[in-house]
Amino acid sequence: MITRELAVALRESGLIWHPAEGDRFQLDLPEEVELEAEADVFTVSEMTIEARQTPSGTDLAFNGTTEWALDAVTLADAVWLPREDQLRDLLRGTFRTLVRLEDTFSVEIEIADTRFVFEHPDPAEAYGQALLELISRSR
């Protein structure tokens, strides 16, 4: 799983999240709202947390099965933690290789005939770094 810091960087770079069953996220509420659950990782699921379309956008509705009282948060109050497969899919045609090295994984992408390599012990984090590079160069 990617770090919260990388997830926030991806969001701030313009990555758009369309919540789907199985997606993981953390809360990102204003500082004046203190919740112990902000560090918890939640999963979108019909039974517990579902994405609901509202006139103002998408809300993540907590269906009463969580341990604390929170009805819903807006998508802006959540930080998506994309899975490794989602990150790889988002790289689309730029993705070239994933190689396991001795202590790390290497992800290679190609943008405009230039190859970029990102290494990290967690392959999801290497994919995330590659996606951040792709987004920043696409702007």
> Do 107 and 118 contact (CB within 8 A), yes or no?
yes
The predicted pLDDT at position 31 comes to 60
Query: Distance from CA of residue 56 to its chain's centroid?
Result: 22
- Domain residues of the chain, as ranges? 18-80, 84-138
Average pLDDT taken over every residue of the chain: 89
Instruction: State percent of the chain over pLDDT 90.
Output: 63
Confidence of residue 80 (pLDDT cuts 50, 70, 90): very high
The predicted pLDDT at position 4 comes to 93
* Cβ-proximal residues to 32 (8 Å cutoff; 6+ apart), any chain: none
**pLDDT at position 68 over 90:** no
Output 37 or 56, whichever has higher pLDDT. Answer: 56
The predicted pLDDT at position 54 comes to 87
State both tokens at 30.
């204003």
What is this structure's pTM? 0.85
The predicted pLDDT at position 74 comes to 87
**pLDDT at position 73 over 70:** yes
The predicted pLDDT at position 30 comes to 66
